Structure 1
Amino acid sequence: MLQELSIRNFAIIEELNLSLEKGLTVLTGETGAGKSIIIDAVHLLAGGRGSSEFVRHGERKSEIEGMFSIDGPDHPSVQKAHQFGIEIEDEIVVIRREISATGKSVCRINGKLVTIAILREIGSTLVDIHGQHEHQELMDTNQHLHLLDQFGGSDILAAKTNYADIFKRYEQTMKAIRQLSENEQQMAHRLDLIQFQLNEIQKADLKLREDDELAEEKRRLSNFEKLYESTQTSYNALQGEGKGLDWIGLAMSQLETAAEIDEQYRSLYEAVSESFYAIEDVSRQISSALDGLEFDPNRLNEIETRLNEINVLKRKYGSTIEEIMEYGGKIEEEIETLTNRETHIEKLQSERLAYEKDLLLEGKQLSYLRKQAAQKLVDAIHHELKQLYMDKTVFDIQFLVDGEDHTKHVPSFKKDGLDEVEFYISTNPGEPLKPLSKVASGGELSRMMLAMKTIFSKHQGVTSIIFDEVDTGVSGRVAQSIGEKIHQVSIHSQVLCISHLPQVAAMADVHLYISKIMTGGRTKTFVEPLENEEKIKEIGRMISGVEMTDLTKQHAKELLELAASLKNG
């Protein structure tokens, strides 16, 4: 859940620190006080689009920080974080977002800089925001299959994984068939090109690490004079009358005499003796190296020519000799395939038929599981809609494509299976079922979304769910049912809700009152937790407006008592 929220210089909020609790937190207050601004700040933490307009006038930047606690190492946010190299310790995720007055946005997760795209991926596992105009998943028919699969759980996930593995190989096979079925002229041009490339590579007769060895030899030849001079000087320092070895030999001789007189000098004599013979051996090796040093300008030219040839191939076929040789092997296989194109097409067609049989079997199994899940979801939604006073509403999930395209009588394989589904609804008895996206009103969509969120909150594992005035346009017993339903969602997830309905506010576990005041010629937003009398007063204001009467106060108390009874029940 979202435990701590810190906001600095964001819109009309100068500074705000909130500690949030589990359960249902309701935010109320006059229009324009800043309720939606708080939700906007949380939306930015979840990867929403930033803008310089969010920065408080006269300030350099806005700062938003949120601390989320997650439920164990299996939470989806942990998997996403590890995917992007972000460490999560003590089951805490800290997200920080800064937006400058120039529009630049900086995002950090647990201290690591991330892009907006990464923030959005991880944020989507932590926060789920629904506004009064945000019903994209319900209105977008492309999302209906995703929602059904999500409800179906692990059985459908396993079946989808099996299908997806085969579908991936099937697509690769179809791509290979298409490539080999291109026109003859294109094939001939391709064959000529790669045959030329292979000949060029084979003619070069490359050897692994050849370029490194040649570069080292070139370096030696290019520095021949310096190498010869250094070697000759070192030899002269060791060999000759009065040179290094003479003096070490003299020291060895004298220490030998000393060791014959006093045994304690024996170890010194042996050490110098070993050094003498070792240096004498090195001296002979230096002499041999000198004899072998020979400058060959032709060899240097040969090396430069060969390295240039290798570099030309690197520019064409790979950055290393190993990559060039791998490319040569790859096009050699392609030449064989193109030369024997018909044979390969026949083989691929056989593979395609085998994959299609497997896809049809796996796809039908997936469809079977989806139909079972669809019936359970329909029953669950009818149950929820009844509680939201939409008991006359009929909801259905229709499978538009069921394993076959009946106009062609051939399988229609798609990435997610054989099925296309769409949610249908009839809100009035006697009316036919029609697509949900075309017939539902705003109030009906709000209740439909709330019904589905009540069901899906048990499956999604989202840390925090935010409802931004989703109760707009309803009243009376429907408002009461919406309040109860939002509270049900909060049993499984932390819920933050902006509401103008007293019935919803009465169900709150925590009630925050948002207000704004003028100070120093500037507007500031304040948040005040309400308890007892303050809560009664605010709910009374929501019922009657500005004027508070004894009857209004009594009504507010009754709402709170009813809410307490429902929650305890």
Structure 2
Amino acid sequence: MLFHLAIRDIALIEHLEIDFAPGLNVLTGETGAGKSIIIDAVNLAIGGRAERELIRNGQTKASVDAAFEVDERHIADLMKASGIELEDSTVILSRQIAMNGRNLCRINGQMVPLSLLRAVGERLLDIHGQHEHQYLMDAGRHIGFLDAQGDDAFRAQLAKVAELYASWRAAVQKLKKLRENQAERARRLDILSFQISEIEEAALSSGEEEELSRQRLLLQNSERISSALNEAYHFIYASSDMPALTAVQEAMDAFDTIAAMDDAFEAMKTRISEVYYQLEDISLELRPMRESMELDPQELDGVEERLELIRKLERKYGRNIDEVLAFLADAREQYEGLIHLDEDLETLGAECDRREKELYAASLALSKAREKLARRLEKAVLKQLQELDMGKSRFEVRDRRPGGPEEASNAYTASGFDEIEFYISTNPGEPLKPIAKVASGGELSRLMLAIKTVAAEVDEVETLIFDEVDTGISGTTGQKVALKMSEIAAYRQVISVTHLPQIAAMADEHLSVQKTSDDVKSSVCVASLDEDGKIREVARLAGGLLNEAGLRHGRELILNAKALKAQKT
């Protein structure tokens, strides 16, 4: 359950901390007092949409922390996958939003992605807004309401259908692409054949372009290189005056006469000897190097032509030889695929048929399970409607199911092929009609509450928030709605934002939301009411003056609520 909420700089709230209790928590206050802001903050904490408009005027960021006491089994898989440890069965969901768009999410102080915050939040708390009953007007959502009543076995069937549907759709898309390829196969084969031949005939090799560029540089500068090599060879080995090799030889001979006299002379002789032998090696290498640098214009032309061919292929197929070769490999693969396209079409067509048969069988089994679920939901909802002053209503879950495999082909979704829609008749003698064509606002609110009450009996979410879902309800009907919320609160924590005195009278914890203003700013505060405060607030909601008669009426509503709760227990 949600036991603590801390809000900072959200809308009118500068800093607010609220403690919630087990059972039925009721928030009341004048219109505009800030009740909806508190619900917005809770929604933000569980991963709801973040809008900059929520940030308090004049501030750059806002934050909310929601602390839950949890049954670890409900979120163990998510916590384990993210490496977050639970302490004393407590989970704290934190969210910070900023004007610069930065969005920080934490669970128990650890940074997490928004998707994880939302996944955990969905398992801990469910918000039913004052406009959510409008979802009942959308028949496309009805299958979700029905499926929510299923047990683990049903959810396993649902997951199996979703998996088979994804597999079948992937095969169908692949088959569609192959058929599109078949239509232009001849053209593609011609293009690929030309591209493959053009690249293969070039016989490219990785690193070839760099080597050719090096050769071209040498050939283009062969005269300069030849001249430099000849000069070097001349000065080292063939100078008419005295080649460097001869001069070093004479220096070595000079030191040979004195080397024995001192270690320094011996060391110098050794160093001169090393220079001599290095020069000798250089002179031996220079000779063939000179001969190899004789200019061959045809060789340079050949290198230029080869480089131009490579650049032509690179302009068409890649930025370098490696990319051109990668293009060649891909073209060969496509070519082979098109050559064997007919075989692949036959094989994949058979695979699609097989997967669709599996999908149909699983969807049919799911549909039959839904049929049982629908009959159970009908009975449960009718029971709840009877307790919500709609006892003469009729409620039916209808399923437009395909007549066979052929019809099902165009009806599959990840949820199977069923098309579920809720029908209702709220008055005796009136035929059943789709909800959107029959129910009034108050009736929709009660129907949604009935469905949520049934869902709460199987749902693992421990906290339900009802945000002014009593719109359009009053009188004895309001009393029955209040009792229904109290019944849910017997096994789930319920937080209700309400204007109905009957619901407020049922509260186990009554929180009063008030807005204070001065010439500079407005702020929101929340106070937990004692018994006298509850009486005064219920009397205010009942429309009575806070005089003796009005307070007596408030006290009677609370006493009556206690008596009704006692009867239920």
Normalised TM-score (structure 1): 0.73
Distance 2:559 2:139 in 1: 42
2:153 is equivalent to residue 148 of structure 1: no
1:236-291 per-position Cα deviation (integer Å, ceiling 9, x unaligned): xxxx9xxxxxxxxx9xxxxxxxxxxxxxxxxxxxxxxxxxxxxxxxxxxxx9xxx9
Q: Where does residue 449 of structure 1 map in the other structure?
A: 448
- AA at the equivalent of 1:500: H
2:162 is equivalent to residue 189 of structure 1: no
DSSP 3-state at the match of 1:396: strand
Change (3 A) 1:182 1:128: same
- AA at the equivalent of 2:103: V
Within a 5 Å distance, the mapping from 1:277-356 to structure 2 comes to 332-356=332-356
1:439-468 per-position Cα deviation (integer Å, ceiling 9, x unaligned): 211111111111111111233333432111
1:319 CA drift (Å)? 11
Distance 1:506 1:318 in 2: 77
- AA at the equivalent of 1:538: E
1:300-353 per-position Cα deviation (integer Å, ceiling 9, x unaligned): x99xx99x979x8799689997x9988866654542332233333233333333
- AA at the equivalent of 1:485: K
- AA at the equivalent of 1:435: P
Q: Where does residue 428 of structure 1 map in the other structure?
A: 427
2:182 is equivalent to residue 177 of structure 1: no
- AA at the equivalent of 2:350: S
2:559 is equivalent to residue 562 of structure 1: no
Distance 2:387 2:201 in 1: 80
1:13 CA drift (Å)? 1.9
1:563 CA drift (Å)? 4.6
1:558 CA drift (Å)? 2.2
Distance 1:516 1:412 in 2: 52
Distance 1:32 1:540 in 2: 19
Distance 2:97 2:533 in 1: 35
Q: Does structure 1 retain, via aligned residues, the 8 Å contact 2:70–2:91?
A: yes
Q: Where does residue 125 of structure 2 map in the other structure?
A: 127
1:113 CA drift (Å)? 5.6
DSSP 3-state at the match of 1:419: coil
Distance 2:199 2:179 in 1: 28
- AA at the equivalent of 1:126: L
Q: Where does residue 496 of structure 1 map in the other structure?
A: 495
Distance 1:86 1:114 in 2: 10
Distance 2:382 2:129 in 1: 23
Q: Where does residue 484 of structure 2 map in the other structure?
A: 485
2:420 is equivalent to residue 440 of structure 1: no
Q: Where does residue 29 of structure 2 map in the other structure?
A: 29
Q: Where does residue 157 of structure 1 map in the other structure?
A: 155
1:553 CA drift (Å)? 4.5
DSSP 3-state at the match of 2:471: coil
Q: Does structure 2 retain, via aligned residues, the 8 Å contact 1:26–1:497?
A: yes
1:400-432 per-position Cα deviation (integer Å, ceiling 9, x unaligned): 1245389x6977433321211111111111111
**Which structure's CA Rg is the greater one?**
2
1:5 CA drift (Å)? 1.3
DSSP 3-state at the match of 1:182: helix
1:475 CA drift (Å)? 1.8
Q: Where does residue 167 of structure 1 map in the other structure?
A: 165
Within a 5 Å distance, the mapping from 1:90-239 to structure 2 comes to 90=87, 91-100=90-99, 104-110=101-107, 111=109, 119-182=117-180, 186-196=184-194
Q: Does structure 2 retain, via aligned residues, the 8 Å contact 1:30–1:515?
A: yes
Change (3 A) 1:528 1:537: same
1:12 CA drift (Å)? 2.2
Change (3 A) 1:537 1:356: same
The root-mean-square deviation of aligned C-alpha atoms, in Å, is 4.6
Q: Where does residue 247 of structure 1 map in the other structure?
A: none
Q: Does structure 2 retain, via aligned residues, the 8 Å contact 1:518–1:524?
A: yes
Within a 5 Å distance, the mapping from 1:377-396 to structure 2 comes to 377-396=377-396
Within a 5 Å distance, the mapping from 1:410-421 to structure 2 comes to 412-421=411-420
Q: Does structure 1 retain, via aligned residues, the 8 Å contact 2:28–2:498?
A: yes
Q: Does structure 1 retain, via aligned residues, the 8 Å contact 2:63–2:94?
A: no
Q: Does structure 1 retain, via aligned residues, the 8 Å contact 2:506–2:562?
A: no
1:105 CA drift (Å)? 4.9
Q: Does structure 2 retain, via aligned residues, the 8 Å contact 1:107–1:119?
A: no
1:114 CA drift (Å)? 6.0
Change (3 A) 1:555 1:350: same
Tell me the matched-pair count.
Answer: 500
Distance 2:186 2:556 in 1: 86
1:128-157 per-position Cα deviation (integer Å, ceiling 9, x unaligned): 222222225422222211222221222222
Change (3 A) 1:74 1:61: closer
- AA at the equivalent of 2:337: T
Change (3 A) 1:427 1:480: same
Distance 2:134 2:442 in 1: 15
Change (3 A) 1:493 1:403: farther
Q: Where does residue 67 of structure 1 map in the other structure?
A: 67
Q: Does structure 2 retain, via aligned residues, the 8 Å contact 1:131–1:467?
A: yes
Distance 2:439 2:489 in 1: 26
Q: Which runs of 5+ in 2 are unaligned?
A: 215-251, 253-262, 264-280, 294-298
DSSP 3-state at the match of 1:125: helix
Further displaced range: 107-116 or 511-520: 107-116
- AA at the equivalent of 1:161: A
Distance 2:40 2:129 in 1: 11
Change (3 A) 1:184 1:159: closer
Normalised TM-score (structure 2): 0.73
1:502 CA drift (Å)? 1.7
Q: Which runs of 5+ in 1 are unaligned?
A: 219-239, 241-249, 251-286
Identity rate, percent = 35
- AA at the equivalent of 1:516: K
Further displaced range: 175-184 or 479-488: 175-184
Q: Does structure 2 retain, via aligned residues, the 8 Å contact 1:50–1:105?
A: no
Distance 2:97 2:54 in 1: 10
